[in-house]
Structure 1
Amino acid sequence: MKFTRLAKSALATVTLLASLPLTQAEPLKIGYSDWPGWVAWEIGIEKDWFAEEGVEVEFLWFDYVASMDAYAAGQLDAVTMTNGDALVTGGTGKPSVAIIAGDYSNGNDMIVGAPGIESLEDLVGKKVGLEEGFVIHLLLQKGMQMHGIEEGAIEIVNTPTNETPQVLASGAVDAIGAWQPNSGQALKTVAGSKRIFSSADAPGIIYDFLSVSPESLEARRDDWMKVVKVWYRIVEYLHDEDNLDEALSILAARVSVKPEEYEPFFDGTYILSLDEALAAWEKGPGLDSVYGSTLIADEFNVAQGVYEEALNTEQYLDPSLTIEYAEGLEK
């Protein structure tokens, strides 16, 4: 066989390129924070499941609001957020696409009444300290709606969530709204205080997502598919009661508490199985659907002036990777 000079040159170039090491893609950068459904990623990290799936991921630990700020600043490819806060981040400048609906709050978010306050009805004409415009505010509004309490009948005192236990203890308010660990701290700090309403009373009011930048999802969909696979490996692991002690040990170590102290936080988070996630991804108007819940969150955000006009909430939701993963299991 004879080669022209051009062919020989091309062959030499191909041979040289083949001998060079492949360029590694940049790690996917994911911001996560102290919520049991997000700390659960630590299991995949500790067990090296991402490497087994062939995807390089860098998880960066933040305070929750700081994680959203880092995402909005373009420092992350993805971040763990509630469905309502994903809309806030998008409505104020940095849209995202949820590819995993991992859990919903099942009691960790709560309204804690001071001694003598036994129900939401007892708060009519009284003060509640909570962070205005956040999901805990939405939870209170949902509770008021469920109990037939008119809007404005309870006075909201804008209070940073991490300060709510001290504010309740001071007597400045009659109740506070907070999520764990702050809600639990309030119950411990104030003798006689009581949980009077929680996300367990309105399951699906707060879904927790892994939300990805649209640019990253488009450019590296195959890698994000591998992340989805790892997530459902984590879910399967968590749903096996034989793994509970080890799981609590891993989760508790991430936030520097004892496993027995962390267990109530984990119990207040409902981790969705694959089948449950698929059901939640079906379009519908109520809290059973991610779509319905997110639409309610959007209406709340507009009413609170977080952003001016309703968003196209469906653009923030992408069940396709979860569906594709499930279909792959059936083959």
Structure 2
Amino acid sequence: MQTEIGTSKHQRFIRIGAVILSVFVLIGVVFFATKQGANLDVPAIRIAVSKTPLSAPVFIADEMGFFDEYCSEVELIEVVGGRRSFEKMASGQADFATSSDSVIVYKSFARSDFVTLASFVHADNDVKFITREDMSLVQGKDFRYRKIAVTKGTASEYFLSTYLALEGVDRSEVTLVDTPPDKIPDVLASGEVDAIAPWEPYGYKTVQLLKGTANVLPTKNLYSLSFNLIGSKSNVQSQPQKAECVLHALSDAIDYISGNHSKTQEVIGRRLNLENDFIFWIWPDYIFKLSLNRSLIMGLQSQAEWVVQSGVIKDRGVPDFKEVVNPTPLAKVKPEAVSLLIQRSLSAVSEN
């Protein structure tokens, strides 16, 4: 009798233990699903990412596994320059791209089948104007009738044009030489051009290449560029969960960057094969923040008006940038990062 009672108690303990274990397993499954953002069904994602420290949030999200927490699979397609990144996205080789605001402006004159989903960094000293000391070119008027290397259709061209305009030099008075960003240091060193307008890290590489003979003109605060996440309009509309999971990861990456400067700099230096001295030199110029606000629209508008007035693009009106901005994914991921004015003025975008 006592044996039967003992056996019965033992069986009850086993059943209770099994129930408790099941509860903990269920809690774990729910937690895991929540942590994953229920995005295990999100298709594989390809991001064309420009190989610049401006893309740091994307590299950190990849390095630290933040993409894995929200997306099923993310592949980074590394390219040189935001223009090439955009072209990868536009051709269907990538779902998203990282590009500067200037690339958005230039591309908007020809197409409106893409959308800007968020800005994730701003910099007021990333593009520079560099010549050689032996040329004695120190102010705007000295550059009349000179050859200047830029990467056309990017922040490089807009930056140089802004500088020339402020110095009272017309674009027609200089010869612009369209040069791939990674070749810009070489054309100045070889004497093929008299000056260059590179973005980083090619400004730093130019200074290193010229070994003390580079003259970097003081242009800080002349132009504040933003780097942005861009996607195909149809892709974002049909599969918004792709954009949302990427934005979740970028948000976590930016939070990580703000509290781990040394580790972030080490990762970016290693991923882009950059010297520590360069990382330390440029880092204070960067402000990492996920946003989509009215200042972006105003900046795009201002650049577009300049493009039209200067004749860089002829026979075109200023694009309607409301057509290439979609605040809906970011508003779902991080509502406080989206300006209320943007949400109201662009409500039609999310309805299309």
Query: Is TM > 0.5 for Structure 1 vs Structure 2?
Result: yes
After alignment, is 186-195 or 298-307 more displaced? 298-307
After TM superposition, give the deviation of residue 234 of structure 1 in Å.
Answer: 1.4
SS at match of 1:81: strand
CA contact (8 A) 1:37 1:208 kept: yes
Distance verdict in 2 for CA 1:133–1:41, change over 3 Å: closer
CA contact (8 A) 2:149 2:193 kept: yes
The AA in structure 2 aligned to 1:311 is: P
After TM superposition, give the deviation of residue 309 of structure 1 in Å.
Answer: 4.3
Instruction: Tell me how far apart the structure 1 counterparts of residues 128 and 99 of structure 2 sit (CA, whole Å).
Output: 18
After alignment, is 109-118 or 308-317 more displaced? 308-317
SS at match of 2:129: strand
Deviation string 1:112-157 (CA, Å, 9 cap, x unpaired) is 0221222334323433222334321110111123333344343433
Query: Structure 1 stretches of 5 or more lacking a match?
Result: 1-21, 283-288
Equivalent residues in 2 for 1:52-201, closer than 5 Å: 52-64=69-81, 65-93=83-111, 95-115=113-133, 116-190=136-210, 191-198=212-219, 200-201=220-221
Q: Does residue 297 in structure 1 map to residue 297 in structure 2?
A: no
After TM superposition, give the deviation of residue 109 of structure 1 in Å.
Answer: 0.9
CA contact (8 A) 1:80 1:208 kept: yes
CA contact (8 A) 1:238 1:244 kept: yes
Distance verdict in 2 for CA 1:48–1:312, change over 3 Å: same
Residue in 1 that maps onto 2:36 = none
> In structure 2, which of residues 221, 228, 233 is the aligned counterpart of residue 209 of structure 1?
228
Distance verdict in 2 for CA 1:162–1:307, change over 3 Å: farther
SS at match of 1:40: helix
The AA in structure 1 aligned to 2:313 is: G
After TM superposition, give the deviation of residue 210 of structure 1 in Å.
Answer: 0.4
CA contact (8 A) 1:107 1:268 kept: yes
> In structure 2, which of residues 52, 58, 67 is the aligned counterpart of residue 50 of structure 1?
67
When normalised by structure 2's length, the TM-score is: 0.73
The AA in structure 2 aligned to 1:123 is: F
Distance verdict in 2 for CA 1:71–1:300, change over 3 Å: farther
CA contact (8 A) 2:140 2:168 kept: no
CA contact (8 A) 1:130 1:136 kept: yes
Q: Does residue 32 in structure 1 map to residue 38 in structure 2?
A: no
CA contact (8 A) 1:131 1:158 kept: yes
Q: Over alpha carbons, which structure has the higher Rg?
A: 2
Distance verdict in 2 for CA 1:183–1:154, change over 3 Å: same
Instruction: Tell me how far apart the structure 1 counterparts of residues 303 and 169 of structure 2 sit (CA, whole Å).
Output: 19
> In structure 2, which of residues 251, 263, 273 is the aligned counterpart of residue 232 of structure 1?
251
CA contact (8 A) 1:50 1:57 kept: yes
More helix by share: 2
Instruction: Tell me how far apart the structure 2 counterparts of residues 259 and 307 of structure 1 sit (CA, whole Å).
Output: 46
SS at match of 2:165: helix
Query: Structure 2 stretches of 5 or more lacking a match?
Result: 1-38, 338-352
Instruction: Tell me how far apart the structure 2 counterparts of residues 161 and 58 of structure 1 sit (CA, whole Å).
Output: 24
SS at match of 1:84: helix
After TM superposition, give the deviation of residue 249 of structure 1 in Å.
Answer: 1.4
Deviation string 1:184-209 (CA, Å, 9 cap, x unpaired) is 222222233221144x32243x2211
Instruction: Tell me how far apart the structure 1 counterparts of residues 122 and 178 of structure 2 sit (CA, whole Å).
Output: 25
Instruction: Tell me how far apart the structure 1 counterparts of residues 72 and 116 of structure 2 sit (CA, whole Å).
Output: 19
The AA in structure 2 aligned to 1:132 is: K
Distance verdict in 2 for CA 1:328–1:220, change over 3 Å: farther
Residue in 1 that maps onto 2:269 = 252
Tell me how large the CA RMSD over aligned residues is.
Answer: 2.8
The AA in structure 1 aligned to 2:104 is: A
After TM superposition, give the deviation of residue 213 of structure 1 in Å.
Answer: 0.9
When normalised by structure 1's length, the TM-score is: 0.77
Identity of aligned residues (%): 17
CA contact (8 A) 1:97 1:317 kept: yes
CA contact (8 A) 1:103 1:209 kept: yes
After TM superposition, give the deviation of residue 79 of structure 1 in Å.
Answer: 0.8
Instruction: Tell me how far apart the structure 1 counterparts of residues 263 and 152 of structure 2 sit (CA, whole Å).
Output: 37
Instruction: Tell me how far apart the structure 2 counterparts of residues 297 and 25 of structure 1 sit (CA, whole Å).
Output: 36
Residue in 2 that maps onto 1:10 = none
SS at match of 1:110: coil
The AA in structure 2 aligned to 1:178 is: P
